[in-house]
Chains A and B, each alone.
Chain A
Amino acid sequence: MITPTAARTMPERLRICVRLLLAAALLALVPLSAPAKTAMPLAADPVLEERLMTLATGLRCLVCQNQSLAESNAELAVDLRNEIREQMRRGASDRDVVDYLVARYGDFVLYRPPLKASTLLLWSGPAILLLLGLGFLVRTLRRRRAQITQIPLSAAARARAQELLGTDSAEEAS
């Protein structure tokens, strides 16, 4: 026996099936209607570019106000990046590139100044300051110990202190 409800459900099921099929077909069409292609890396050779950028972060863009060669979009910076890229492609090592730039522009191009007579104080300065600071610390601690002798608090002074403080020194915490 076919109940009225069952009679209604059959075409409904069919409709759902059709809808699902239609939806699937539409979904299959989606990539066609909007061609989503993956964006290409800006650089032709991403590995070399990575190497270039790592090197360039330590180099100064000479015409900018304190920007690295990696960050700057100034004409000179772009030209220099192209130059470095070309040299690297021809097999130059990082060291070759840096030597080339220093020969052309001097130490000014390096964000890590080389150790030489004129930068001796720059590189040794922090260590000297630290030694002086620690020396000062040790001397202060030693001298204090020699100068400060414990004088026991006399009963009268203690009483006066208690009176001034009201209670015993709760303030000493922290």
Chain B
Amino acid sequence: MIPELGHFALILALALALAQGVFPLIGAARGTLVWMHVGRTTALGQFLFIAIAFGTLTYAFVVNDFSLLYVASNSNSDLPLQFRIAAVWGSHEGSMLLWVLILAGWTVAITRFSHHMPEEFVARVLGVMGLVSAGFLAFLLFTSNPFLRLIPAPPEGRSLNPLLQDWGMLLHPPMLYMGYVGFSVAFAFAIAALLSGRLDTAWARWSRPWTTVAWVFLSLGVALGSLWAYYELGWGGWWFWDPVENASFIPWLAGTALIHSLAVTERRGAFKGWTVLLAISTFSLSLVGTFLVRSGVLTSVHAFATDPARGAFVLVFLGIVVGGALLLFASRAHRIGLGGSFDPVSRESMLLLNNVLLAVAAGSVLLGTLYPLVLDALGAGKVSVGRPYFEAVFIPLMTPAMFLIGVGPMAHWKKTSLPDLATRLRWAFAVGLVTALLVPFAMGGWSTPVSLGILLAAWIVTSSLAGLIERLRLSPVSGGILAKLGANSRSYYGMQLAHIGVAVFIAGATLVLGYESDKEVRMSVGDTIEVGGYNFRLDRISEVPGPNYIASRGDVSVTRDGRAVTTMFPEKRTYGDKKNPMTEAAIDWGFVRDLYVSFGERLDPNTWAVRIYHKPFVELIWVGWLMMSLGGLLAVFDRRYRVAVNKWHAPSSASLLLGAGAAGAR
């Protein structure tokens, strides 16, 4: 009965989504306020009903209702409660439901925080989001229904993949989806602006905080995924260029381009067309990412053939979203003005160059990810595209972009001079260069790739500091250094923090690549081994029962120069009737180094193959991503987004200025 309520709620949600997709758009076109207001109520109702559907499915997992096919396929009664809840989005149907729940959540958020925008604009945004939601709800109900019954109900369900039975599963997918779906807001804003024909700086200002929040979530999602792979897979790597990872990284690259492009559009009114295109592509890539991961097409292109309805729906839906958006863009392109003028050497042009590099990187990763699928589908042979390809392509593309991080923020809007930039940045470059030459020796040996990586990281840090120092020196604010620091906007500090986060990430990735050491040994109780200056001793091996597995656990005591450091407990877990035991690596986390012990196979009852890593500065990788995310968050809380609330009711002051000042717009 309860699952049927959920099913029914989902149908009601679809009806509401359709209403939300139709009435506000017509209302906005005809100027009927009553119709426009429909969007706000239906958004709330839709969220309510999807939440009910989601709640009933979660309930079915919690009470082990195996009469639901989806529950029986993805959970069993031995599974601990938190993983039964995570199992809701453990497979295709449930993740689609999570997707629409989050979409409805973002929509409600728009209705709450949109009082500074014209009602007509809000109505269009809600309308577009309603249409997207209707598409997804229809996809759920007609091809991926999680509420299908399995009669007679089996006494026990199949289990969730043991790899997914981890705290990462509770956090990573929701974060990622918050990001993916958040870009639907940027998309809806862009479409609404195209529909209204008012692509002005105001639109960019409204869209920017939403886009940044989505980007923050996606960044956290990508970082969590990487961290999870690092500690769960047991190979000690943090990025594998796996299609599933790429599916989240491609929208991230496009989204990063988008937030930079939006900065120019908001500040200078330029790149409007490009920003709109990026908003459309970022969301489209998020859609592609969602479907790629969950449709099973990555495991085999023939997954579509076994379920043609799903594949066809996805392709048609993508076609409508992307094609419709691009058609609308093409039909309005002639009305998009040029915005403020700028020189070929200016902050604008540097941001445009950064955008080109990011977009090309996103395109290349997409090409590498889809190429094997397309080739296979065409029957032109099977190839694998992996790390060697992606690294050969990605690193050369990103290196100049990293260099630009240092130069761009120092360049003036409109016009800047290269010799002047060189003078202002010469000390930053010199300090960066010296750091790059010294660090490899301090770490214990010269290595050219490490030195180049550190050069980029140090350059970003020193040039960011040079920018800050210059600001303080030229600050018109009277008073002490604190007053001067306080006068800078939060979005400025957000940018600095995020950029330095990139540097921290590069430093971590470079140092661990250059200086990690590992040994693969056979260890019996009492054996010791030295890795990276630490002494590891296997003290004992014991069998430890878990909630739904039995673990062979090793106690490994770690000493350094005779002093005890820690004791680590690597495990090999056997889940139920699963044949292959899962590796649960033990990690001693530390800022300057991680120690990583992972069991391989059991060679005889008392001996294990053990792999031990010493990974210097590996955590900087995730610290860097966290700094990027926090930087984004700081920028969202900039005062000007709140000031804009009061200012906007006067007719567009910004567009008047641009129209008069830089003129030109056709």
Contacts and interface: CB of A to CB of B under 8 A. Distances in A.
Check if A and B associate: yes
Interface of A: 34-43, 49, 57-58, 60, 65-66, 68, 71, 73, 106-113, 118-119, 121-122, 125-126, 129-130, 133-134, 136-137, 140-141, 144-145, 147-151, 153-154, 157, 160-161, 164-165, 171-174
A153 B528 CA distance: 79
A110 B491 contact: no
B526 A34 contact: yes
Interface in B405-428: 413
Contacts of A60: 384, 386
Contact of A149 (B382, B488, B526, B663): B663
Contacts of A134: 356
Which 4 pairs, one residue from A and one from B, show the smallest C-beta to C-beta distance? A111-B386, A148-B664, A112-B388, A151-B663
B160 interface: no
B173 to A, nearest CB: 18
Contacts of A160: 656
Contacts of B69: none
B368 interface: yes
Given A111-B384, A118-B380, A66 B240 contact: yes
Contacts of A40: 521-522
B344 A36 contact: no
A65 B385 CA distance: 13
16 contacts: A37-B526, A42-B609, A60-B384, A60-B386, A65-B299, A66-B240, A110-B383, A111-B384, A113-B384, A133-B356, A133-B359, A149-B663, A150-B664, A151-B664, A160-B656, A172-B413
A118 B367 CA distance: 14
B484 to A, nearest CB: 13
Contacts of A165: 653, 657
B521 A110 contact: no
Nearest to A135: B356
Contacts of B338: 144, 147-148
Contacts of B352: 137, 140-141
Interface of B: 235, 237, 240, 242-243, 299, 338, 341-342, 344, 349, 352-353, 356-357, 359-360, 363-364, 367-368, 371, 375, 380-389, 392-393, 397, 413, 488-489, 491-492, 519-524, 526-530, 537-538, 580, 600-601, 609-610, 640, 650, 653, 656-657, 660-664, 666
A106 B381 contact: yes
A164 B537 contact: no
B522 A133 contact: no
Contacts of A173: 489
Given A129-B364, A148-B662, A38 B356 contact: no
A126 B299 CA distance: 25
Contact of B367 (A41, A106, A126, A153): A126
Nearest to A143: B338
A128 to B, nearest CB: 9
B246 to A, nearest CB: 11
Contact of A112 (B341, B389, B488, B519): B389
Contacts of B393: 126
Count chain A CB atoms within 10 A of each CB in B386, B387, B528 and give the residue with the most.
B386
Given A39-B527, A111-B389, A126-B393, A137 B356 contact: yes
B663 A36 contact: no
B341 A36 contact: no
Contacts of B640: 171
A74 to B, nearest CB: 8
B342 A157 contact: no
A29 B485 CA distance: 64
A116 to B, nearest CB: 9
A2 B580 CA distance: 79
A109 B384 contact: yes
A102 to B, nearest CB: 11
A126 B253 CA distance: 15
Nearest to B394: A126
A33 to B, nearest CB: 11
A57 B386 CA distance: 10
B202 to A, nearest CB: 13
B356 A110 contact: no
B650 A149 contact: no
A133 B489 contact: no
A109 to B, nearest CB: 7
Contacts of A149: 663-664
A58 B386 contact: yes
Contact of B386 (A35, A68, A122): A68
Given A58-B388, A137-B352, A147-B664, A39 B610 contact: yes
Contacts of B491: 174
A57 B384 contact: no
A37 B657 CA distance: 79
Nearest to A125: B367
Contacts of B524: 39
Contacts of B664: 147-151
A118 B383 contact: yes
A172 B367 CA distance: 40
Given A108-B382, A130-B356, 12 more contacts: A36-B526, A39-B521, A42-B609, A111-B384, A111-B386, A112-B386, A112-B388, A118-B381, A122-B389, A134-B356, A148-B663, A160-B656
Contacts of B528: 36-39
A113 B527 contact: no
A15 to B, nearest CB: 27
Contacts of B609: 42
A133 B526 contact: no
